[in-house]
Structure 1
Amino acid sequence: MRVLLCLLVALLAGCAHRLSLEAPEAVPLQGDYQIGAGDVVNINVWRNPEVSLSVPVRPDGKITTPLVEDLQAAGKTSTELARDIEKALSVYIQQPMVTVIVTSFVGPYAQQIRVIGQAARPQALPYRQGMSLMDVLIAVGGITDFAAGNKANIIRTVQGKRQTVPVRLHDLLRDGDISANVAVLPGDILVIPEGWF
């Protein structure tokens, strides 16, 4: 009997591990921040205030500044962009020294969390290291009264394969069940369906 009980506990533990909603614990650390369309960058050219300014990264991923037109910014780090601007400005300015600071973050599409459906404010959010479902819900203002929160799903792509992860938003928000707070990953799409009364 004792052996049977131990086998049953081991079997249940194995199933629980396989059905876990938790994201992989070892989420790879993100490298340096890559600029994305919609970010705002502050460009400072030392001793040249006339070409120093803040500019948004256009939807096509490029920026335009005085003396530098249509320079690719999306997908680059601020340091890489600064070196590219220095190279472009060197035609007009002797040994330009450029610093680029990202002041408004959106990030590349692959690094965003998208929230659609019955969120109070559906939107795309920049991913931050260690972000959880609760963080996402706070950012979008929670769910509407018409949401079927416990029927929501996270659509996630892992190694090129699309997965659907069920989440319990109603339990998390209305009942305070912290066990329903799961990790989110870059590129996740949170789908919150409408409930039928």
Structure 2
Amino acid sequence: MTSKAKAGSYVVGEGDKLQISVWGVASLNFEVKVRPDGMITVPGVGDVIASGRMPEELKKELTVKLKDLVKNPLVTVTVTDITNNKVFVFGSGTKPAVYDINRKTTLLQILCSLSDIKTADLKRAYLLRNREKVKVGFYMLFMLGDIEQDMQIEPNDSIFIPQHTDKNVYVVGGVNNPKAIEYREGLSVMEAILESGGFSKFASPDETRVVRKEDGHDLIIAVKGKKLIRNVDFSQNVKLKPGDFVIVDESIF
């Protein structure tokens, strides 16, 4: 792919070709290819990091470094051949995609552009860079809005988003029609119970609990069903997650 990228928008990657020009200095007008280590070699300066930077940023650094060789250097940096600007999204938790990035892009921007991550397990998602996992709080970033977890995406990054191993919610015990319900975003305890036929005549609504697996352990969330039925305490209407069990105890008295 041959193209010219405007300074200030495109992020340089390995394999890209750059035209470096210093006005009035013929020996400093040259084309250079960004090496696999992200560096370029500039005559009289040596190796300079180019990958992951915008042309304008590179221009400013070269202007400073060339002052020892040229008085008031006027430097231009142009990307003449774009070969390395793709980001890959894969995994069963979303639709696989390949993105061309031609400007600074963050992880949050990529996540917001995905078409369907309803069944994605963001707690197990990760980013691959140079074949190494980069630990990022996908769930905290996308679901809780913790922007401290956001990070800059670089060319050739890969984002792995797995699917929840269990996409169902299970309602058992004192309901009229115990069943597995396919999880959907926002599904609550009361909705799950109603879809299971409601509390049975032997149910003890106040002895309802949600059992959830977290980090290999059972997290038990108590639910006072009577308060929900009477619409007096909506805090009891717990939002469910894939794999949750809603258990309603029964009593014959």
Normalised by the length of structure 1, the TM-score is 0.43
Normalised by the length of structure 2, the TM-score is 0.34
Q: Which has the higher contact order (CA 8 A, sep 6+)?
A: 1
> Going by fraction, where is helix more abundant, 1 or 2?
1
> Going by fraction, where is strand more abundant, 1 or 2?
2
